Amino acid sequence: KARFFSPLHTADFQKKISLIDYSRSALESCWEKISLFAEAEQLTCHAESVRVRFGKALADAGQRSSKEAQ
């Protein structure tokens, strides 16, 4: 049996990315959930970034290491 494969398209060689745009007020309403999700995905710098934006950065590295140990 012969098999048919579709030809390649330019989309086959393009990287697809998504951008999410939040207003300040929208981000303010859910930054804690974003931070928790980032921590769960082990994206600690992303979690810290959203905390810094709202003045909620961890006071010192000791707090971070105690969370990581859990």
Phi, psi at 12, each rounded to 5°: -65, -20
Question: Which pair of tokens denotes residue 62?
Answer: 């000791």
Non-local CB neighbours of 44 within 8 Å, separated by 6+ positions: 38, 64
The domains of the chain are located at: 24-69
Q: What is the per-residue pLDDT for 63?
A: 54
Confidence at 60, pLDDT banded by 50, 70, 90: very low
Over residues 1-58, the pLDDT tens digits come to 666 677 888 888 999 999 988 898 898 899 999 999 999 999 999 999 999 988 876 5
CA distance 34 to 50: 8
Max CA-CA distance within the chain?
67
State residue 20's pLDDT score.
Answer: 86
**Which three-class secondary structure state does DSSP give residue 69?**
helix
